[in-house]
Amino acid sequence: MFEWNDAYSVKVPLIDEQHKKLFGIGQKVYNLVEERKGYDNYDRVLEAVNELYDYTRYHFVEEEKLLRKYGYEELDNHLQKHDEFLQHLDSLDIEEIDLHQDEAISDLLKFIASWIFKHINNVDFEYSDFLQANLA
């Protein structure tokens, strides 16, 4: 489901590598949904949520540094999108995830898929030309 291809490239190698890692985390969540089938995978689900949260925060900081360094005019809007993603992850109820693992992991997968594909293909593509020009 989360297969990287060049259509997702923002043509900034550092950012593309980080996006590939996010795709990998998304694939882990997808695999959990596929493997889940009534088993208690709470530890693996929690591990995936924590990895997603930690890596996304790292990626956002790195991306924001580049955008800030070169004076990207739409930075505030971009930061708002990042904050919305992190707020969603912060709002996850760990107890609820444990009690309703199938539903929780499916919801997480839908959220990750929607966000990754929409964010990269829309929001991140908006800065692609800007960063390419400044990094050249």
The model's pLDDT over 21-78, given as tens digits with 9 standing for 90+, comes to: 999 999 988 888 887 666 777 888 888 889 999 999 999 999 999 999 999 999 999 9
CA 132 to chain centre: 22
CA 10 to chain centre: 15
Give the span between the Cα atoms of 66 and 71, in whole angstroms: 9
Confidence at residue 37, expressed as pLDDT on a 0 to 100 scale: 64
Q: For the chain, list the domains and their CATH numbers.
A: 15-135 (1.20.120.50)
Q: What average pLDDT score do residues 88-107 get?
A: 84
**pLDDT of 136 higher than 90:** no
Rounded Cα–Cα distance for residues 101 and 98 (Å): 5
Listed residue (19, 42, 23) closest to 32, CA to CA: 42
Q: How far is CA 121 from CA 5, 42, 44, in A?
A: 12, 31, 29
